[in-house]
Amino acid sequence: MTIILNRAAFLALSLLAAGTRPAAAGCVQLSSTAALAIGMKIYQNEAGQKARFLTHWNEGEEFPSMGIGHFIWYPEGYMGPFEESFPKLVKHLRKNGAALPAWLRKSPHCPWKTREDFYKDFDGPRLTELRVLLESTIPLQAEFAAKRLKDSLPKLLKALPRAERTHVKKQFDRVANQPLGLYPLVDYVNFKGEGVKDSERYAGKGWGLLQVLQGMSGTAEDGSAAVEFAASAERALEERVKNSPPERNEARWLAAWKKRLKTYVEP
């Protein structure tokens, strides 16, 4: 099954924005139709809407990334600094009636230890079955991605001193009420996380949704919030690269990250 999100379809995302805005300050509501539209855009961002990229392992990383949101899956015994999200997605798929391959039901950890092993087995039965599953469950993955945003706001506020919560909540609502609705927020939290885990820091500096919202200072409701959000995210990611361990060579990814941020402002 191949699903193409053309320009007209993405422009339709703007029309769905009314269904993706908070009903009240800090209250996230997302219709299933809007969640799917946002999910398809995330699929475009992460995988170019190509099924073979639904199972992917970046050079320089210790783990593969699966699904439309490139959800992280750690090999057994590896304890990484980033939040592992693919096992949670598998639970979500199973809970909602998706037919999982037998090997996946029995494998809470990624069965491939290295990137080399992963790509040797890329066209084998397990990864082929996994891509079929992931391509056939895009709506469920979109719901999962949207739910992560809904669950994130309480985490962000809890991580802050009381005096700072109003500012972050205000910036969240400003972005959510832009023409593209919750898309920038849903995409970014699935892209770079909430930013509340101490392990997701380089030199004590985070790059998640929390840090991006903290980096915004505007108050206007004139459509500028999405631009401010993208600019703050760019600063956070530039700082991440600057502070990252040299052996990770994260600078190689920065141009693609910045290109993705432009979709928060431009259809």
Q: Let me know whether 167 and 113 are in one domain.
A: no
Q: Let me know whether 167 and 87 are in one domain.
A: no
What's the CA gap between 18 and 119, in Å, rounded?
42
Q: Let me know whether 235 and 200 are in one domain.
A: yes
On whether residue 15 sits in a domain, the answer given is no
On whether residue 238 sits in a domain, the answer given is yes
Task: Among 105, 137, 169, identify where a domain stops.
Answer: 137
C-alpha distances in Å from residue 267, one per residue of 12, 14, 110, 191, 233: 10, 8, 35, 18, 18
What's the CA gap between 124 and 128, in Å, rounded?
6
On whether residue 36 sits in a domain, the answer given is no
On whether residue 144 sits in a domain, the answer given is no
Q: Let me know whether 74 and 106 are in one domain.
A: yes
Q: Let me know whether 132 and 167 are in one domain.
A: no
On whether residue 257 sits in a domain, the answer given is yes
Q: How far is CA 73 from the centre of its chain?
A: 14
Q: Let me know whether 55 and 111 are in one domain.
A: yes
What's the CA gap between 222 and 197, in Å, rounded?
33
Q: Residue 10's pLDDT is what?
A: 42
What's the CA gap between 261 and 229, in Å, rounded?
9
What's the CA gap between 102 and 120, in Å, rounded?
21
What's the CA gap between 39 and 146, in Å, rounded?
8
Total domains in the chain come to: 2
- Percentage of the chain beyond pLDDT 70 is 88
Q: Let me know whether 70 and 170 are in one domain.
A: no
Q: Residue 1's pLDDT is what?
A: 41
SS3 205: strand
What's the CA gap between 22 and 224, in Å, rounded?
18
Q: Let me know whether 163 and 267 are in one domain.
A: yes
The parent domain of residue 95 ranges over 47-137
pLDDT in tens, 158-174: 999 999 999 999 999 99
Residues 6+ apart with CB under 8 A from 234: 258, 261
| C-alpha R_g of the chain | 18
10 Å CB burial of residue 6 (0-12, 13-18, 19+) is exposed
SS3 72: strand
User: Which of 33, 29, 3 lies closest to 16 in space, CA to CA?
Assistant: 33
SS3 202: strand
On whether residue 118 sits in a domain, the answer given is yes
Q: Let me know whether 179 and 240 are in one domain.
A: yes
* Helix and strand totals (H; E) in the chain: 12, 3
Q: Residue 15's pLDDT is what?
A: 38
Q: Let me know whether 165 and 261 are in one domain.
A: yes
On whether residue 172 sits in a domain, the answer given is yes
Q: Let me know whether 173 and 251 are in one domain.
A: yes
Residue spans of the chain under pLDDT 50: 1-19, 23
User: Which of 90, 80, 5, 66 lies closest to 39 in space, CA to CA?
Assistant: 5
What's the CA gap between 211 and 47, in Å, rounded?
25
On whether residue 20 sits in a domain, the answer given is no
Q: Let me know whether 77 and 171 are in one domain.
A: no
